[in-house]
Amino acid sequence: MSGDSPAGGLSVAVTGATGRMGRRVVADALERGHAVDVAVNRSADGATVEGVSVEDAGALPTLLAERDPDVLVDFTGPSSALEYVDAAADAGVPVVTGTTGFDDAGETALEAAAAEVPLLRAANFSRGVAALERALRAAVAALPGYDVEVTETHHNQKTDAPSGTAKALLDALDDERGRAAGRVHGREGTTPRQPGEVGVHARRAGDVTGEHEVLLAGNDEVLELTHRTGDRGVFAAGALDAAEWLAGRDPGYYDFGAVIGER
Ligand code: NAD
């Protein structure tokens, strides 16, 4: 832990510090009594967030080596996140990343970094979504053969689709059914539903922070499981809970379930 940290607090590094999530992470970290000793963004332009100077992300390796933070929290994009994770692994700094949209090679790179430093990744840092996933597993187990459709809605600036959370819910569904369902992304034209397929629908509109709905239908009944996020603060809080939990642990690949006591 950096010698400059406030009593009981952590020294935190934040990437994407001027982004929607980065700003919330900086604010919440300070509110919790942590020090934000490193804040970077790809275009810093002399910005400050909550009084913290934001520096150029190109300087991240040097800043991590000089300031030796306890943990790095990343909400950026998949290519930059991999770059930042590498820098953190080289500097021996644990990483919490909430970035979504990694491809298979990205997933493999994250796993490799986790051999060197503790790394915790979650597509969604909301406790409500963790509960939604548990509820989905229970519902699928109780309703074999029911049709399932997943719909997510996010703000009009979101770049990846479907959302990382929707993918995590689909993976949980496959896991529970013991096979990979054919995922159909939207439908157009003559596309009758095939047995076992799962429809996936991504809506982009306005400033919606995040909504996920799983619909299960069969046997003349419908069950809908819905989660709505009111404010990004919920994700920042979950990521900082994760950062506090992760700092000082052994290298390894951790998930949010471990933080909230699911396992
Ligand atoms: P944003 O666009 O507001 O902020 C992203 C920040 O990262 C920006 O400051 C941008 O300059 C920087 N950035 C983006 N791509 C970059 C790149 N290629 N190189 C360098 N810097 C880059 O986005 P946001 O809403 O804050 O979301 C950031 C990420 O976090 C997304 O992947 C989003 O899906 C994810 N997210 C995850 C959760 C969760 O709970 N896990 C919650 C919300 C958002």
Element (DSSP H or E) covering residue 110: helix 104-113
Q: What is the pLDDT of residues 246-263, one digit of tens each?
A: 999 999 999 999 999 865
pLDDT of 186: 96
Return the active site residues: 154, 158
Q: Tell whether the model's pLDDT for residue 3 goes beyond 50.
A: no
Q: What is the pLDDT of residue 181?
A: 80
pLDDT of residue 125: 97
Sign of the dihedral through C-alpha 79, 57, 240, 3:
positive
**Confidence (pLDDT) at 60:** 98
Q: Is the CB of 98 under 6 A from ligand 1?
A: yes
Segment 74-89 shows an average pLDDT of 98
Average pLDDT value over all residues in the chain: 95
Rounded CA-CA distance 123/51 in Å is: 28
Convert the pLDDT of each residue in 190-248 to its tens digit: 999 999 999 999 999 999 999 999 999 999 999 999 999 999 999 999 999 999 999 99
For residues 152-176, average pLDDT:
96
Would you state the pLDDT for residue 1? 46
Q: Can you tell me the mean pLDDT for 150-159?
A: 97
- Ligand 1: centre distance to CA 242 (Å): 18
User: pTM of this prediction?
Assistant: 0.91
Ligand 1 atom nearest 23 alpha carbon = 26
**191 Cα–ligand 1 center, Å:** 35
Q: With a 6 A CB cut-off, is 235 part of the ligand 1 pocket?
A: yes
Question: pLDDT (tens digit, 9 = 90+) per residue, 62-71?
Answer: 999 999 999 9
Q: Per-residue DSSP letters for 153-208?
A: EE-TT--SSS-HHHHHHHHHHHHHHTSPPPEEES--SS-PPPTT-EEEEEEE-TT-
